[in-house]
Amino acid sequence: MTHRVLLPTLAAVGALTAGCFPAQIHLGRLGPDRILTDDEIRKADQKIIEADKMWALRADPAKAEKALDLLRESLQVAPHNTQALWRAARVSYWMAERAGHAKDEKKQLEQADIGITYAKHAIFVDTQSAEGNYYLGLNYAMHADASKSTGLSLVKPMLNALKRSNELDDELDYGGARRVMGQIYMSAPSWPTSVGDVDQAIELLEDVVEDFADYPENHLVLAQAYDKAHKYSDARKQLNLVLAAQPAPDWAAELPEWQEHARTLQKKMPLQ
């Protein structure tokens, strides 16, 4: 199943829901029918720069929303800018995840679907986009989480997107594609219902931790896998690393949440 077959319908839906393109314009009319002027390129790129500044301040959700607004403005000028598209998919995923924390499944589903549209468009424009594939997989995960009845049907496309991202850039987001694949193998039902395999999850996650030992979420997810495998001593060692982690620009917004998860898991684990 190619992106060229799927994307026109999805992009038309996304144009109406996400406000990325004027409602009367369809993807078929947004092809490379002309070269952007230097001024248009500068304007589109400047919006991305401004969006990155807002994204860095995403601990305030209003800043994340502003980042998405700026990316939409960039895409109004340059609709096929992959850099803006995958960033918009990233913010949409982040918003979907926050809606999930708030138990707002309707908003979670809406944001995930918007993110899926942006990510698929990014891949349509650049089939070598590791980021496009990565955030496609993450938005699929958010959709699956919000739509329990169809969640298992998304496991295969989710894994396909993540595997493709990992092939293209296995360092993206501190080994993010492998980390999320590990979460899928850890959480999904086992064969023959699905692909769940906690041993496979642990193998993947141990590799990610070895490659990116400074990233707290890697330790948190590995601890969750160890906990599921009843390896409580190993899990506690990983949780202690999460709790001892210090904020850094890339993850300061998420670190308090990870540490809260670590404390909660610690309390639930049996004493040994």
The two tokens of residue 60 are: 């305030």
Judge if 8 and 105 occupy the same domain: yes
Provide the pLDDT for residue 147: 86
| Listed residue (269, 185, 183, 258) closest to 230, CA to CA | 269
Question: Which range has highest mean pLDDT (4-13, 27-36, 228-237)?
Answer: 228-237
Chain centroid, CA 124 distance in Å? 18
Can you give the CATH number for the domain in which 251 is found? 1.25.40
Where residue 34 falls among pLDDT bands split at 50, 70, 90?
low
Structural contact between residues 218 and 175, judged by C-beta atoms closer than 8 angstroms: yes
Query: What is the mean predicted confidence (pLDDT) over 23-37?
Result: 47
Can you give the CATH number for the domain in which 124 is found? 1.25.40.10
| Number of folded domains that form the chain | 2
Structural contact between residues 119 and 7, judged by C-beta atoms closer than 8 angstroms: no
Mind listing the pLDDT tens digit for each residue in 10-25?
222 233 233 333 333 2
Query: What is the mean predicted confidence (pLDDT) over 169-177?
Result: 97
Judge if 15 and 135 occupy the same domain: yes
Structural contact between residues 119 and 139, judged by C-beta atoms closer than 8 angstroms: yes
Task: Give the 3-state secondary structure of the chain.
Answer: CCHHHHHHHHHHHHHHHHCCCCCCCCHHHCCCCCCCCHHHHHHHHHHHHHHHHHHCCCCCHHHHHHHHHHHHHHHHHCCCCHHHHHHHHHHHHHHHHHHHHCCCHHHHHHHHHHHHHHHHHHHHHCCCCHHHHHHHHHHHHHHHHHCCCCHHHHHHHHHHHHHHHHHHCCCCCCCHHHHHHHHHHHHCCECCCCCECHHHHHHHHHHHHHHCCCCHHHHHHHHHHHHHCCCHHHHHHHHHHHHHCCCCCCCCCCHHHHHHHHHHHHHHCCCC
Average pLDDT over the chain reads: 87
| Percent residues over pLDDT 70 in the chain | 87
Residue 2 CB: number of other CB atoms within 10 A? 8
Where residue 31 falls among pLDDT bands split at 50, 70, 90?
very low
Provide the pLDDT for residue 272: 66
Provide the pLDDT for residue 193: 80
Where residue 36 falls among pLDDT bands split at 50, 70, 90?
confident
Range of the domain at 47: 1-25+40-153
Provide the pLDDT for residue 38: 86
Mind listing the pLDDT tens digit for each residue in 131-165?
999 999 999 999 998 987 777 788 899 999 999 99
Task: Kindly state whether residue 164 falls inside one of the protein's structural domains.
Answer: no
Judge if 12 and 134 occupy the same domain: yes
Task: Kindly state whether residue 254 falls inside one of the protein's structural domains.
Answer: yes
Mind listing the pLDDT tens digit for each residue in 204-258?
999 999 999 999 999 999 999 999 999 999 999 999 999 999 999 999 999 999 9
The two tokens of residue 25 are: 């314009």
Query: What is the mean predicted confidence (pLDDT) over 103-117?
Result: 96
Judge if 146 and 174 occupy the same domain: no
